[in-house]
């Protein structure tokens, strides 16, 4: 039902192409804001441009000569503009309700968002504690009250905007859009996950650990989020999981080279990307099995069924 929910509204191919361009333009508008703040804060225009060039090459927050929280806020602001553009595209270009990208039912199930967040946060914390106990020398406890408290507020109130945009765009707009081209559920699930991985290919982790190594992790993450969305017939669980992932990484445990360079409580000096991928697979399987039992999901073979066209 979730994938076929996209049949409502206007779905010409050119509307999706134009919509993606408009959404990308909204994201770029957010970048302009960040660039303007950096240049304004610099001693002169040339110094500001140089700082931006250094940041784009290294993705190092310190290159911008701003506090970590300020840069973190500016990075999130890009997604505020992108989310606004997505709302406009969905409403006026496609004549759809944004709610239809979240659920095909009458009401959004807030309890599922909370459950998805809590369960994934708990699983992530458990796995990270195992890593900490096995190799405590790889972690640095860093308590910076002046930096952490603002970080906590930004993470709780603003970071979900970024994660929600990505879910609405990739698992909603893109995956539902692809359902018009392909009749089998698995194809939109796979293609939207590959696109999710490619878009994250500019993250600083890629430069440190290798493109293909990180692509496997990103695509698997996209597949996991897409699968739970289709199995549950709604985006609520994925919204909770994605928010938990980024809030966990921003506030509690981060690592050198991460895209989230914040004043988190613990910093890991080095990670094994393959071990991280294996741990993610274990966490994903555990999450899926728990949710399948709790919400009485259908058989996994349903992921390979044809999409039923229906208007909701």
Encoding tokens for residue 94?
């496609």
d(CA 23, CA 98): 14
How distant, in Å, are the alpha carbons of 18, 76, 84, 94, 172 from that of 89?
Answer: 9, 20, 9, 7, 13
Q: Return the closest-CA partner of residue 170 out of 13, 1, 20.
A: 20
Q: What is the DSSP string of 38-97?
A: HHHHSSSHHHHHHHHHHHHHH--GGGGTS-HHHHHHHHHHHHHHHHHHHHHIIIIIS---
Question: Dihedral of CA 63/66/69/73: which sign?
Answer: negative
Residue 167 near residue 225, CB atoms below 8 Å? yes
Question: Dihedral of CA 60/280/99/310: which sign?
Answer: positive
pLDDT digits over 128-141, tens only?
999 999 999 999 99
H helices, E strands: number in the chain: 12, 3
The contacts of residue 174 (CB under 8 Å, 6+ apart) are 192, 195
Residue 229 near residue 238, CB atoms below 8 Å? yes
d(CA 261, CA 285): 28
What is the full per-residue pLDDT of the chain (312 aa) written as tens digits? 789 887 889 999 999 999 999 999 999 998 888 778 777 776 666 666 676 667 666 555 566 667 889 888 988 999 999 999 999 999 999 999 999 999 999 999 999 999 999 999 999 999 999 999 999 999 999 888 889 999 999 999 999 999 999 999 999 999 999 998 898 999 999 999 999 999 998 887 888 889 999 999 999 999 999 999 999 999 999 999 999 999 999 999 988 777 777 889 999 988 899 999 999 999 999 999 999 999 999 999 999 999 876 554
Report phi then psi at 254, rounded to 5: -130, 180
The contacts of residue 129 (CB under 8 Å, 6+ apart) are none
* E strand intervals along the chain: 139-141, 253-255, 266-268
d(CA 247, CA 259): 13
Q: What is the pLDDT of residue 112?
A: 99
């Amino acid at each position: 039902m979730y994938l076929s929910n996209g049949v409502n509204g206007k779905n010409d191919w050119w509307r999706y192409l134009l919509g993606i361009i408009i959404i990308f333009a909204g994201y770029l508008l957010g970048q302009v804001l960040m660039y303007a703040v950096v240049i304004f804060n610099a001693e002169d225009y040339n110094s500001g441009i140089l700082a931006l060039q250094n940041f784009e090459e290294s993705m190092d927050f310190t290159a911008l000569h701003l506090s970590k929280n300020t840069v973190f806020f500016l990075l999130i602001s890009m997604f505020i503009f992108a989310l606004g553009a997505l709302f406009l595209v969905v409403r006026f270009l496609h004549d759809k309700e944004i709610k239809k990208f979240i659920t095909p039912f009458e009401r959004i199930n807030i309890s599922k968002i909370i459950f998805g967040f809590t369960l994934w946060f708990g699983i992530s914390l458990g796995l990270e504690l195992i890593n900490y106990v096995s190799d405590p020398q790889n972690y640095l406890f860093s308590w910076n009250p002046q930096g952490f408290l603002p970080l906590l507020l930004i993470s709780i109130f603003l970071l979900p905007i970024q994660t929600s945009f990505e879910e609405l765009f990739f698992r909603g707009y893109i995956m539902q859009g692809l359902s018009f081209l392909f009749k089998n559920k698995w194809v939109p699930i796979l293609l939207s996950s590959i696109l999710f991985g490619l878009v994250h290919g500019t993250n600083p982790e890629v430069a440190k650990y290798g493109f293909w190594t990180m692509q496997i992790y990103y695509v698997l993450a996209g597949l996991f989020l897409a699968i739970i969305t289709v199995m549950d017939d709604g985006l609520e669980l994925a919204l909770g999981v994605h928010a938990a992932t980024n809030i966990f990484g921003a506030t509690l445990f981060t690592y050198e080279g991460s895209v989230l360079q914040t004043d988190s409580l613990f910093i890991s000096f080095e990670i094994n990307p393959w071990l991280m991928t294996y741990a993610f697979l274990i966490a994903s399987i555990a999450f899926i099995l728990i949710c399948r039992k709790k919400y009485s999901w259908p058989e996994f073979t349903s992921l390979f069924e044809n999409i039923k066209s229906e208007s909701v």
